[in-house]
Chain A
Amino acid sequence: MKKELGIFLLLVLLCVIVSVINPNFLLAINLQNLARQIGMFGIFSIGLGLVIITGGIELSVGSMMALLGVLMSMMLTEWHVGVVLAVLLCIAIAMSLTLIHGLLITRLNMQPFIVTLCGLLFYRGLARFITKDETKGFGTSAGLDFLRFLANGNLFGIPMPFVLLILIALVTWVLLHRSVYGRYLFATGRNSEAARYAGINTRSTITIAYVIAGALTAVSGIMFAFYTNSVSPANHGNAYELYGIAAAVLGGCSLRGGEGSVIGIIIGAALLQVLRNLVNLLGIPSSLDFAVMGAVILIGVMADQILSERRNRRRRATAQDA
């Protein structure tokens, strides 16, 4: 809990600073837009967090979103697939692809970094190939109102992606922190050897985490596609996996596995979006966007590391078997 509290305080502090310097931060329209971004980025970040808890990584998120985005557009505007079917297909494709990642990692003992890096390259290439590198979109096609509402609409003034994030967060919170699967996930991430000795099916535990990440990537991906309303296969979703990884790590997930929480990941995702917003509102040249984010993440993680090291040293000293 300490980790989450620290990052939460950092988030509050940033919000206060920005709103003091530029009160426009607190305008309803700005907050709404911010919440929308947090929702869309938060959802796939949770999935990435699960994968990181297994001790793995998923780098293909951004490319997969581009692939799903162009497929969505082609299904709906060119192939005349029904809306419901198109959404289900989209989610199914993402889950199948990450299922393959999970199987390659757990059955063939391939390294997650490599498997998903190849995914990153492959899906991007595939998206560009099937579109002949043309930007795809939804224009003003009829019958897509519900999907447009999901991405751009509000429910009682709250942006839909944020509402969806809260719902998904509740479900994954229960899954991660209250269910047998969650316990097995943490056990496997911490020490897969001991988990195996306790009779846990570590392979399927890990694979399921990848599949869930795939499903959440698809949900985010569909929203992003309708949010931008046009999908350029070469750029859409570029580097989004890094937002997810950064959110998870800021939120207390350890890349070594076995550590993390849903609340932390969401706060991490929110912090990243506040940072982007801050760059806008404070008139910092937008070319510095990434630099600011990099610096804040580095400082945040560094502070956390220094504090926890100090805590550990004290604890270790106490517990030393003398």
Chain B
Amino acid sequence: MPPLLQMSAISKRFPGVVALEDVHLQVDPAEIVGLIGENGAGKSTLMKILGGVIQPDSGAIELDGEKVVIESPRAASGRGIEFIHQELSVLDNLDVAANIFLRREPTKGGWLRLIDNARLYREADALLKRLGLNITSRTPLAKLSLAQQQLVEIARAISAGARIVIMDEPTSSLTLSEVRRLIEIVRDLKASGVSVVYISHRLHEVEEICDRAVVLRDGRNAGELPREEINHDRMVRMMVGRDLKDLFKSGRETKTDAQAADWFSVRGFRTARYPQEAVSISLARGEVLGVAGLVGAGRTELAQTIFGIDPAIAGEVSLDGKRITIKGPIDSIAHGIYLIPEDRRTCGLIVDMNIRENISLPKLNRFATSGLIQFGKEKAAAKQACQSINVKAPSIEMKAANLSGGNQQKVVLAKWLTLSPKVLIFDEPTRGIDVGAKAEIYALIRELSNQGVSLIVISSEMEEVLGISDRIAIMHEGRITGVLEREQFSEEAVMAFATGSNRPAHMEVV
């Protein structure tokens, strides 16, 4: 029996860049293939070719042993190839059923093509049931969580008669329990004969569900691992071509400066999202406080409230023994408290502006005399900031949009480093960043901490939060359910607090 899909000798060049060079990918019926590699390795390009979004320069695609040309996403769909994008592509002004059957609505009334609502909702409900999604298909999409919206996309793929489902980072915004559910669904798909191409940076997921892992590096095949040989270390080695066991090289300086334990503190803080919960945290100078918890636990809201995006309803903040008032980002920035937001592209950067303009943006007045920008000063500062943290770009005049995720994150960081931070809040510092850049970000966090900057690091990645924190605060439904000291760190302890399963009666955090 021929393989379901055979992509052979695929090459694709973009002006100045070779994105793919002689790449092969085979998918058998009912197989889950993990496609992994660093950002820029060519995974997305390869999948865009399979999904009909772009055309290869050379190479062949065979489905069921028959040569095909996939000229558009619509053609891909017609051949049973469905793409579930990293960024959700559902319409939140429609209800669930309308989303599932978009472009394939059951109709009645002949040429009038009226939508057959009875059938639409009946079939949509049946699909939701099959996916174990406990909602009616009349629910407006906007009311669903991210995870549920993603399941709606999967329902859409199934109802379109998918034979191959491409999932691009499907778990990047899901909570742990939602990830479990997704993994079950992927297995169900396999059981019903559907093949899945699973792209993920989360290697333990690949380890858990994939029948085979195909590794790309710099636009070429870097090797592949059969089921029994898939393990974390081998995958990482293939992806980066070197070992990375020193990802969390500690290099930590001991800080037991008791007087400084309260250097930055937030007390009785009530956020707009969870007004009934009072949150308190405190950090020593140079301490890294990890904040763990499930998505929706209120961590991002806490960060945004401290930074002043949504001012606090109640509570006080003090820094270096002085009480400070934060009514908006202007105030927090004035005090040296900076936020590196979760969503770089919409909050962290103005992607249509260049690196220089992004770096100098906060307090631009420091590079100006009587309101006019001194371009020489501005350039020098931006250049120096980029060099100091190794932003890889041909010039500081390059648009931020054209940088890789890791370099974008470094630009956001460079922006604040030019303003000597006292407290730095990271919200998911390494989301969507490849392994190499991750290591650099961790090293920077360490270095800043050694320089006496206090850091709050919100992270959903267990490895990360355990690896870089001096202390971990865990949130659940808007409140801090536990704080772990370094010697108490364990995945189980974090999970227990995060799920609220063994919340102690009163855990005051000081």
B44 at the interface (CB under 8 A from A): yes
Contact B357 A320, beta carbon cutoff 8 Å: no
B201 at the interface (CB under 8 A from A): no
Interface set, chain B 357-384, CB cutoff 8 A to A = 357, 361-365, 368, 371-373
B126 at the interface (CB under 8 A from A): no
Contact B309 A196, beta carbon cutoff 8 Å: yes
Query: Contacts A197-B309, A197-B339 hold; do A322 and B373 have CB atoms under 8 A apart?
Result: no
B272 at the interface (CB under 8 A from A): no
A287 at the interface (CB under 8 A from B): no
B421 at the interface (CB under 8 A from A): no
A190 at the interface (CB under 8 A from B): yes
Which single member of B12, B339, B353 contacts A190 (CB below 8 Å)? B353
CB distance from A71 to the nearest CB of B (A): 32
Chain A residue numbers with a CB within 8 Å of B334 are 199
B250 at the interface (CB under 8 A from A): no
A179-B368 Cα distance, complex, nearest whole Å: 8
Stretch binding the partner chain, chosen from B14-22, B114-122, B159-167, B462-470: B14-22
Contact A314 B329, beta carbon cutoff 8 Å: no
Chain A residue numbers with a CB within 8 Å of B19 are 320, 322
Interface set, chain B 335-368, CB cutoff 8 A to A = 339, 341, 346-353, 357, 361-365, 368
Chain A residue numbers with a CB within 8 Å of B390 are none
Contact B39 A321, beta carbon cutoff 8 Å: yes
Interface set, chain A 163-192, CB cutoff 8 A to B = 174, 178-181, 183-184, 186-187, 190-191
A314-B402 Cα distance, complex, nearest whole Å: 13
Contact A321 B44, beta carbon cutoff 8 Å: yes
A198 at the interface (CB under 8 A from B): yes
Chain A residue numbers with a CB within 8 Å of B357 are 183, 187
**Nearest CB in chain B to that of A317: its residue:** B14
**Nearest CB in chain B to that of A178: its residue:** B372
Chain B residue numbers with a CB within 8 Å of A195 are 350, 361
User: For the side of the interface on A, what is the size category?
Assistant: 20 to 34
Chain A residue numbers with a CB within 8 Å of B429 are none
B454 at the interface (CB under 8 A from A): no
Contact A197 B40, beta carbon cutoff 8 Å: no
Query: Contacts A198-B362, A199-B329, A318-B14 hold; do A183 and B347 have CB atoms under 8 A apart?
Result: no
**Nearest CB in chain B to that of A188: its residue:** B350
A68-B309 Cα distance, complex, nearest whole Å: 40
A302 at the interface (CB under 8 A from B): no
CB distance from A317 to the nearest CB of B (A): 5
Interface set, chain A 216-271, CB cutoff 8 A to B = 258
A314-B346 Cα distance, complex, nearest whole Å: 23
Contact B364 A322, beta carbon cutoff 8 Å: no
CB distance from A315 to the nearest CB of B (A): 8
Chain B residue numbers with a CB within 8 Å of A197 are 307, 309, 329, 339, 341, 347-348
Which single member of B15, B328, B353, B372 contacts A179 (CB below 8 Å)? B372
Contact B362 A180, beta carbon cutoff 8 Å: no
A187-B365 Cα distance, complex, nearest whole Å: 15
Contact B350 A194, beta carbon cutoff 8 Å: yes
Query: What does the 1/0 interface line of B447-486 toward A look like (CB < 8 Å)?
Result: 0000000000000000000000000000000000000000
A195-B415 Cα distance, complex, nearest whole Å: 13
CB distance from A322 to the nearest CB of B (A): 4
Chain B residue numbers with a CB within 8 Å of A183 are 357, 361, 364, 373
B149 at the interface (CB under 8 A from A): no
Chain B residue numbers with a CB within 8 Å of A181 are 371
Interface set, chain B 402-418, CB cutoff 8 A to A = 402, 404-405, 415
Query: What does the 1/0 interface line of B12-36 toward A look like (CB < 8 Å)?
Result: 1011110110000000000000000
Chain A residue numbers with a CB within 8 Å of B347 are 193-194, 197
Chain B residue numbers with a CB within 8 Å of A318 are 14-17
Query: Contacts A181-B371, A183-B357, A193-B346 hold; do A199 and B330 have CB atoms under 8 A apart?
Result: yes
A306-B353 Cα distance, complex, nearest whole Å: 22
Contact A187 B17, beta carbon cutoff 8 Å: no
Contact A180 B15, beta carbon cutoff 8 Å: no
Some 11 contacts from A to B, beta carbons below 8 A apart, are: A179-B373, A187-B350, A191-B346, A195-B361, A198-B415, A199-B363, A318-B14, A320-B14, A320-B44, A322-B42, A322-B219
Q: A196-B309, A200-B362, A317-B15 are in contact. List 12 more A-B contacts (CB 8 A).
A: A179-B372, A179-B373, A180-B365, A183-B361, A190-B350, A191-B352, A194-B346, A196-B328, A198-B329, A315-B402, A320-B17, A322-B219
On A, residues with C-beta under 8 Å from B are 174, 178-181, 183-184, 186-187, 190-191, 193-201, 258, 314-315, 317-322
Counting from the closest, the 8 A-B pairs by CB-CB distance are A322-B19, A199-B333, A319-B402, A198-B361, A198-B362, A322-B45, A199-B329, A317-B14
On B, residues with C-beta under 8 Å from A are 12, 14-17, 19-20, 39-42, 44-45, 54, 219, 307, 309, 328-330, 332-334, 339, 341, 346-353, 357, 361-365, 368, 371-373, 401-402, 404-405, 415
